[in-house]
Amino acid sequence: MNKERSSVFSGIIGNNIVLSSLMVVSPVIICGDTLKNAAALVYAFSAITFLSVLISSFVPKKLSYTVKVIIYAIISSLVYIPVKWAAQEFFPGAVERIGIYFPLLAVNSLIIFRSEAELYKLPKNRMIIKLIFYILGFDAVMLTTGFIRELFAYGTINGRIVDVSTPVIGLAQPFGGFIFLGLFCGLYRWIRSIVISKKEEIRGDADVSGK
Amino acid sequence: MFLVNELIALLAANLILTQALGTSTIFIAAGSRKNLVGTAFMITVFTFTGSVCAYFADKLLPEKYSDFKLLIYVISIGILYVILLSAFYFISRNNFENSRKYIHLSVFNCAVMGTLLTVSGKASENSSITEYMSAGLEAGIGFIVAALILTAAYRKLNSSKVPAAFRGFPAMIIYLGIISMAVYSLI
């Protein structure tokens, strides 16, 4: 039961879609250079993915894989339209700043492929919880990336100047995004391996004392 | 000199190294020669034929309905997806099982959809179908070039000499970052 529960909640840390599966990495690399961009992407990704997966979960499972994938993509590109209109209202200028990465979020692999392979096999309530945690996992990575890259590349936090003595301008560039994400990914895996080995150690001790 | 200029232009316009489109797919493609050929071929087919669809969608769709552009692209790629699967099925049923995974992998891929959106974004009112087609082909070739660059270092980046936390994906992203930095200096 505990294992099942942790697998549902694993989307944020244990099985993060960006750091663990390298899904939806292009917006993180290219647009995650400021907190403002990150916030707009968080909104777009969360709204499009949640609504699309939820609506797509009603698509009959009997259909062939190809037909289902096409329907999922059509649903998400329809969901994209009102989300874009809302973004123009609440995040003025964000749609232009993010450019092609905004519509690209509508055909992200979590909606098109991961949901079919994993989420739709679960009961609805578990699917929704798991989906929310996957989305929160992306949001956490996006905001962290936006915060750190903006701080070190521009010396600002959400547009406000802070005292950073030597800004690393390259961090705002695509190559800076690649290198930052690679380091972030490595750090995440290092921490995860420590946590897993500690858990196994504790489990091993518990087994010995149980015997 | 002409070839050098063309190579520089190809690198400068590379969608993976400059726009990070199709990053996760390239890791699959770089894994083996078979995957590289299969994935790169399918991506190129989709970007090339998709650009033709994008041309007609851009020309026929009135400006006030531009928000529906993504939907039109998705439907076009969906139709191409079915056509390609059917074509492979009827041409060679024996090879269909092996080749269809590359079609599934490439359809609605960031590299494909991103190419259509980029081509459409850069196009002007007077852009011809050949400009769309050449941009689509260029994107496909760019994917192949980036995949080849990654393939060259794939084994080393996955070897036991790399610290466990950085082995594989993290090392490959950093490697792509360094290549991207070199390309950035050319622009």
Which one, of A101, A82, A89, A100, lies nearest residue A42 by Cα? A101
Q: Which of A25, A103, A187 sits opposite B117 (nearest CB)?
A: A103
Percent of chain B that is helix, strand, coil (3-state, to 5): 80, 0, 20
- With a CB cutoff of 8 Å and minimum separation 6, the contacts of A104 are A26, A27, B21, B110, B113, B114, B117
User: Do B70 and A80 form a contact (C-beta atoms < 8 A)?
Assistant: yes
Cβ distance A186 to B82 less than 8 Å, yes or no, reads no
Q: What is the ipTM of this complex?
A: 0.90
d(CA B84, nearest CA chain A) in Å: 11
Question: DSSP class of residue A114?
Answer: I
pLDDT cut 70: percent of chain B above it: 98
What per-residue confidence (pLDDT) applies to A78?
96
Q: Which two structure tokens, joined as six digits, stand for A159?
A: 């547009």
User: How do the pLDDT tens digits run along chain A, 211 residues long?
Assistant: 555 566 667 777 788 889 988 888 999 999 999 999 999 999 999 999 999 999 999 999 999 999 999 999 999 999 999 999 999 988 888 888 899 999 999 998 888 888 988 899 999 999 999 999 999 999 999 999 999 999 999 999 988 888 777 788 899 999 999 999 999 999 999 998 998 888 888 877 776 666 5
Q: Could you tell me the pTM of the whole model?
A: 0.90
User: Do B52 and B120 form a contact (C-beta atoms < 8 A)?
Assistant: no
Chain B CA closest to residue A28: B20
Which one, of B114, B54, B118, B115, lies nearest residue B80 by Cα? B54
Strand pairing partners for A157? A160
pLDDT cut 70: percent of chain A above it: 94
Q: Which of A23, A73, A182 sits opposite B173 (nearest CB)?
A: A182
Instruction: For residues B18 and B14, give the distance between their C-alpha atoms in angstroms, rounded to a whole number.
Output: 6
SS3 A30: helix
DSSP E strand stretches across B33-164? none
Mutate to test the interface with B, among A17, A20, A23, A26 (most CBs of B within 10 A): A26
Backbone angles phi, psi at A89, to 5 degrees: -80, -50
